[in-house]
Structure 1
Amino acid sequence: MYLMRFPKPKSLSFRLVVVIFLLIVSVQLLSIVISAVFLHQKHQEEVFRDLEEYANSFDKAFSPNVDSAYRVSIISLQGEVLFDNKIDIRTLDNHLEREEVQNLLQGKSHKSLRLSNTEHKENLYFTKFISPQSDFADSGIFGKFKNNHQQNKPQKVILRISKQKDSLYLKNFASLFATLLFFSAIASVILGVLLSRLITNPIKNINLSHPIKTNPYAELHIFMQQISKQKKKIKKQLKSIKQSKLQFDIITKNMNEGFLVLDSTGNITQSNAKALQILRLTPYNQHINIFALMSDFTRAIKESIDSSNQTFEISINEYFLQVICMPIFIKDKLKAIIILLFDKSLQKDIFELRKEFSSNVTHELKTPLSAILASSEMLCNGLVLDKDRDEFIARIYSESKRLLTLIDKILKISFLDSSLERSANCPQKERVNLPNLIANILPNLQNLAKDKNIKIDFEILGNHDSRIANRDLEKSQDFEVQKFEVLGIPALLEDMVYNLSENAIKYSPKGSEVVITLKSDENSTILSISDNGIGIAPSEQERVFERFYCIDKSRSKKLGGNGLGLAIVKRVAKIHNATITLNSELGKGSEFVITFAKMANL
């Protein structure tokens, strides 16, 4: 089956953990940023307040030689730097355009934040006006300032107090913020896992057999309704598929033909019993790879697919098969192969038998006809001496009689074959008393055996192994005799008994004995004919029932045999649903046993 490939869905639990983690970390980062901005602003205000307090407390005690945390500068109203405790004023340019100076001169603000042109760092500035002629002592910075400006004493100057922004204590909180963020991330992962389990576990516990009843969330109600509807639809479809599969299995199981389905690599995906029987497979190894097991069969299948010729014939094991091979392509790619195996072994055997039969009939008819024709021709042409004329006439008579017997048996065996194939051609069966039937043909058999001084003994074995003599048979009304009845065709049964007895007489030595025995058990009536003749080798015992088969053709021809007698016997037994068994040993004789079903069991 062709299946679409979809990407593997991501885990809901994983997504929940990620979302919760990002949410918590984002909130934490935002809180840190807001806190940092707030703290920075608050600290900046505190620094400005400290600068203002420092400027307001600026007094005579200040000395330029004392190190201070702040940078102190005195600037004239024209921007000239008059004093700086951190930097040599000779290196400083005019500060009139400085932001803090302009703000103070314009009356805007005493506080400023800007990048220092001198230090190249952001500084916080506080500025105010001071008077150098105030009551400050001469000993301090203003004392020095006064001494340096005796000639031109300004009335007012600008005091500027500054501090670098880099020194803000926000840097001290960086490690704290990083630690807080780290533990927040860990906590968010733990919280995410717990929350995801809390959310997904009820979903995992949903019983899909009852999705609506076991739905844990109202938000999933519509989804559960869809699942319930789809479940009913799938259940209906599965029921339909099961019914179709059951019908298909019943059809393939009862097919007389073998049925196989192979995948593209030759593995058996489906088969019926007939196919397994033909391929000699069992249900335990029925899914093997045919391509690896049967090279000839594989080659024939591939040639059939390549040539688009769906039918071919092949011999597999003891079967002669007609194979129909149907490849299944999807998008020009081989997906499966459907194979039907028709057993043509019987038809082939019948054809071969008919061919052999025709050949044998031709040969058997040609032999006596040739003898008759040659003798007749010599008589007609006056090539036979008067003293030999009677011999030639006798030969013509003998060969004609042999020819007539042969034709009669050929017609009889053809009739029997027709009766086996079509029961309508078979004569009506009736109750046949076997002891009486055998008694009727005994005189003919005794006449045939007289020339070889062979004794014909007919015995009937009762329940108590009682024996009924031949002379008492016709007059006996004993139950032991009357119960040996079978449902059959009298004429055919006479032929069967006569042929078996005739063979026993022909192949038995002079002065021997042929025994015909009838016995019965609860379910069957058993007829046996035994002799003390030449016997039949085990290798020949299966073939003696074939048409025209003779173990020793020269001996058979001499005795008047033609190889059809036992073939007729086998067909007569088959018409009567009887079984025939041969027990024989070379040099010790043969026994043919025919087993009939009891009348009550038919």
Structure 2
Amino acid sequence: MTRKIFQSIIAVVISVLLLSLALITGVLYNHFETTMLDQLRTTAQFAEQGVEQEGMAYFDSLHAQNCRVTWIAADGTVKYDNRSNPKTMENHADRQEVREAMENDSGTSVRRSSTLSEHTMYYAKRLSDGTVLRLSMSQRSVLFLMGGMLSPLVFIFLAACLLAGVLSYRVSKKIVKPLSEIDLKHPEQVETYDELSPFLQRIAAQNREIDARMAEIRKQQQEFSMITENMSEGLFVVDRNYQILSYNKSAMQIFGMDPRQEHENLLAVNRSEGFRNAVDSALKGRHTQENLELNGRVYQIIANAVCQPDFAEDMVGAVILVLDVTEKEAQEQYRREFTANVSHELKTPLTSISGIAEIIRNGIVKPEDIPHFAGKIYDESQRLITLIGDIIKLSRLDENQVPMERETVDMLEMARDVVQQLSSVARKNGVTLVANGTHGQVQGVRQVLGEMVYNLCENAVKYNRAGGRVWVDVQQVADHVVLRVKDTGIGIPAAEQGRIFERFYRVDKSHSKAVGGTGLGLSIVKHGAALHHATISVSSEPEQGTEITLTFPAA
């Protein structure tokens, strides 16, 4: 701004100097012309008197060095000229000043010569005898005069420009200084030119408006960051060229993105075909859902297009949401398996009951065999009732619908009660079942705890061998109660140990069919442990036996 003001002042000064020079030169030149004309008139008056009195003799004594004197007859013939031979001169009747003098008593004219860089002023006076006395003087042109004064004019011009430059620089600095000291954050507090007050007030108003909008934007950004950073789902916002505009911490963790690197292109984050198809579809304006397997987990990719508010066809980008659906998929798989297993487990006893009933209805069974077949129907119906009961128990545990009346339960006493309940089954299978240890108190649901211990002990007895043993041990260890059920049964292969708590899963299906059971016992144990915040551990060797440990928080 200082430079512009400086340049403007210099331009004005130079323009004024040039204009002043031209004006002064023009005024002086015009003054010289007027003075010259007055001089010609005065000289003509004296010459007129001399010619009137003396005639041609007057010119013999005339010594006019500065002007040219010409005496012209009434017909235009030159009678006398002090600088040329009259006989060689042409007729002057058509000259402007001569014609005016003939008509108006006097006449003037100016003739300019570009070759000689001068102009000549003529003054003609008609005498009483009808002749015309003409006087003329020559004067240099303006350009010629200025050329002669070029050196002093240039010196004066340069000196004036230098002085103007110094003054302009100081003036421009002085003008700009108050402007440069304006605090744009608080313009209303600045003392400066009155002419700037409306402008500064407008800036102050705009500053307040900008501050309010920025505060609102920061607030919205903080809210957005708080929401997205605390989301367990991954989030990407991309433009139409796949460039990442925003992403959250969960997205970085899911895709293993390095926070120290800048990630610009979304397709560089994951190059799988399903992921790219989801993003491509979203950028074409379609809502898309795709499943993506990554690092042993299953993620659902939900991609939606982002359009201009008023122009649905103007695509600006897409929002990609990444949800971890591993548990959901696993539950769906469990549901399908559970449905298939329940159907199978229900179908087996029902088929048996239906077949026996059909035989009896058709009269094929002998009267003495009816009690045997009736016993079969009873056994299968009991198996069916037990299965349905276990399914109901498991469903209640899944949905947290178990009565939550918690009480203090002595786990050693409960273990002894379970041993008492299973003593007849153990004797029948030739298995020794004992419970010992120390008293340990657990705060829990007595019914669920009893079912957990019962299922563990029942499995230990059923999957044992004749002459085998089952030990139930309860110990109070610091602030925990540990219950162990150890047997000398058939054991569980290491590859199968991770699945024994799944619903309807059986390690040895042929043996399981022989011993009966629903396949839901250990699943009930698992859900009961979760209900009581207990942990489960399994230690087993094939043909050596199995040990299952439950660790409860002490009451």
- Are 1:366 and 2:347 an aligned pair? yes
- Are 1:206 and 2:182 an aligned pair? yes
Normalised TM-score (structure 2): 0.73
- Letter of the 1:491 counterpart: Q
CA gap 1:404/1:180 in 2 versus in 1, 3 angstroms: farther
Residue of structure 1 equivalent to 2:536? 580
Alignment of 1:182-197 (within 5 A): 195-197=171-173
Give CA deviations for 1:21-66 in whole Å, capped at 9, x if unaligned. Answer: 432232122122123324545666798899999999x999999xxx
Deviation at 1:434, TM superposition (A): 0.7
Alignment of 1:123-138 (within 5 A): 123-125=119-121
Task: Give the whole-Å Cα distance in 2 for the aligned partners of 1:159 and 1:304.
Answer: 103
Partner of 2:450: helix, strand, or coil? helix
Residue of structure 1 equivalent to 2:411? 434
- Are 1:28 and 2:17 an aligned pair? yes
Which residue of 129, 145, 151 maps to 1:169?
145
CA gap 1:92/1:443 in 2 versus in 1, 3 angstroms: farther
Residue of structure 1 equivalent to 2:192? 216
Deviation at 1:488, TM superposition (A): 1.5
Residue of structure 2 equivalent to 1:415? 393
Residue of structure 2 equivalent to 1:596? 552
CA gap 1:173/1:324 in 2 versus in 1, 3 angstroms: same
- Letter of the 2:197 counterpart: H
Residue of structure 2 equivalent to 1:465? none
- Letter of the 2:345 counterpart: E
- Letter of the 1:546 counterpart: E
Task: Give the whole-Å Cα distance in 2 for the aligned partners of 1:157 and 1:232.
Answer: 88
Which residue of 507, 512, 525 maps to 1:569?
525
- Letter of the 1:26 counterpart: S
Give CA deviations for 1:47-95 in whole Å, capped at 9, x if unaligned. Answer: 8899999999x999999xxxxx989675544544578899897875323
Alignment of 1:130-529 (within 5 A): 160-162=136-138, 165=141, 168-174=144-150, 177=153, 195-239=171-215, 262-267=238-243, 269=245, 289-290=265-266, 293=269, 296-297=274-275, 299-300=277-278, 303=281, 313-317=289-293, 318-319=297-298, 321=300, 323=302, 325=304, 327-332=306-311, 333-335=314-316, 337=318, 349-374=330-355, 397=375, 401=379, 404-405=382-383, 407-423=385-401, 425-444=402-421, 448-449=425-426, 456=433, 458=435, 470=436, 481-482=438-439, 484-508=440-464, 514-529=470-485
CA gap 1:88/1:403 in 2 versus in 1, 3 angstroms: farther
- Letter of the 2:149 counterpart: F
- Letter of the 1:568 counterpart: I
Residue of structure 2 equivalent to 1:554? 510
Residue of structure 1 equivalent to 2:112? 115
Task: Give the whole-Å Cα distance in 2 for the aligned partners of 1:77 and 1:126.
Answer: 17
Identity of aligned residues (%): 28
- Are 1:98 and 2:77 an aligned pair? no
Please identify, of 347-356 and 39-48, the stretch whose mean Cα deviation from structure 2 is larger.
Answer: 39-48
Partner of 1:200: helix, strand, or coil? helix
RMSD over aligned CA atoms reads 5.2
Partner of 1:542: helix, strand, or coil? helix
Deviation at 1:571, TM superposition (A): 1.2
Alignment of 1:14-93 (within 5 A): 15-38=4-27, 40-41=29-30, 74-78=70-74, 79-81=76-78, 92-93=89-90
Please identify, of 273-282 and 14-23, the stretch whose mean Cα deviation from structure 2 is larger.
Answer: 273-282
- Letter of the 1:171 counterpart: G
What stretches of structure 1 of length at least 5 have no aligned partner? 1-11, 64-68, 130-154, 459-469, 474-480
Deviation at 1:125, TM superposition (A): 3.8
- Letter of the 2:308 counterpart: F
Contact 1:365 1:403 in 2 (8 A): no
Deviation at 1:361, TM superposition (A): 1.5
Task: Give the whole-Å Cα distance in 2 for the aligned partners of 1:577 and 1:280.
Answer: 32
- Letter of the 1:435 counterpart: L
What stretches of structure 2 of length at least 5 have no aligned partner? 47-57, 126-130
CA gap 1:422/1:507 in 2 versus in 1, 3 angstroms: closer
Deviation at 1:227, TM superposition (A): 3.6
Partner of 2:447: helix, strand, or coil? helix
Contact 2:274 2:291 in 1 (8 A): no
Deviation at 1:578, TM superposition (A): 1.8
